[in-house]
């Protein structure tokens, strides 16, 4: 027993020292990084960047805005719309897509996953996205854009409760979405998805 306790104390001491070394090195590692580029953009109202994804040097930022982003149109200025913006490897903004419900409602993009063909955007809406059907409450959505910023497809889905898609990942085997159903025993029955 004493031998095992001694080994544990040595391990605990090693772990403690290792953690101190890591915490002491992390700030200097962070300071050693070079910022390649930084961009600030938005409206004169409330804007939020909620997630980011990269692929082949391109950066995709998703979020929500109450205003109208430059180059976009929206007649519902008191509306909350989702957006996705693509930046190239040099930090040039190549395109932005602001989108939302067909009526005034909250639409928020919460996650993004880029692949070689474009980007998947997930989030939630309190309304009905164009050419979609609303289930009830807050619905989750996933939307695919190609690399040029053209919408490929959108799926809105959920339960009778409030549903939110929070993150997405793209893999050779498919696209996976994680989220939350904000209620009791609601059952998610999504429509069949096809790429």
Distance between CA atoms of 58 and 55, rounded to whole angstroms?
A: 5
User: What are the mean pLDDT values of the chain's consecutive 10-residue runs (195 residues total)?
Assistant: 47 45 53 80 89 93 91 71 94 94 91 94 94 89 96 93 92 91 66 50
Q: What confidence score (pLDDT) does residue 6 get?
A: 45
Q: What is the DSSP letter of 23?
A: H
pTM: 0.77
Q: CA nearest 141: which of 150, 149, 130?
A: 130
Contact between 58 and 88 under an 8 Å Cβ cutoff? The reply is yes
Beta strands in the chain (DSSP E): 47-55, 58-65, 81-87, 93-99, 107-115, 118-125, 139-146, 151-157, 163-171, 174-181
Could you tell me which of 176, 178, 137 has the C-alpha nearest to residue 159? 137
| Residue 10, pLDDT score | 44
Structure tokens at 168: 């997405």
Are the beta carbons of 33 and 46 closer than 8 angstroms? no
Q: What is the pLDDT of residue 8?
A: 42
How far CA 16 is from CA of 24, 26, 29, 89, 163, in Å, comes to 12, 15, 20, 40, 42
């Amino acid at each position: 027993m004493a031998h095992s306790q001694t080994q544990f104390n040595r391990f605990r001491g090693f772990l403690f020292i290792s953690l101190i070394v890591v915490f002491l090195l992390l700030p200097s590692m962070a300071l050693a990084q070079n910022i390649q580029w930084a961009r600030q953009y938005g409206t004169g109202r409330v804007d939020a960047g909620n997630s980011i994804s990269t692929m082949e040097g391109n950066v995709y930022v998703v979020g929500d805005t109450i205003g109208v982003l430059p180059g976009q149109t929206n007649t519902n200025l008191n509306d909350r719309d989702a957006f996705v913006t693509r930046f190239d490897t040099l930090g040039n903004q190549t395109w932005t897509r602001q989108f939302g419900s067909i009526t005034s409602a909250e639409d928020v993009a919460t996650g993004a996953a880029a692949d070689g063909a474009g980007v998947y955007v997930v989030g939630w809406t309190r309304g009905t996205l164009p050419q979609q059907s609303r289930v009830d409450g807050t619905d989750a959505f996933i939307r695919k854009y190609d690399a040029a910023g053209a919408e490929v497809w959108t799926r809105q889905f959920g339960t009778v409760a409030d549903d939110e898609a929070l993150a997405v990942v793209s893999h050779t085997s498919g696209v996976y979405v994680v989220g939350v159903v904000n209620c009791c025993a609601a059952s998610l029955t999504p429509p069949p998805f096809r790429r």
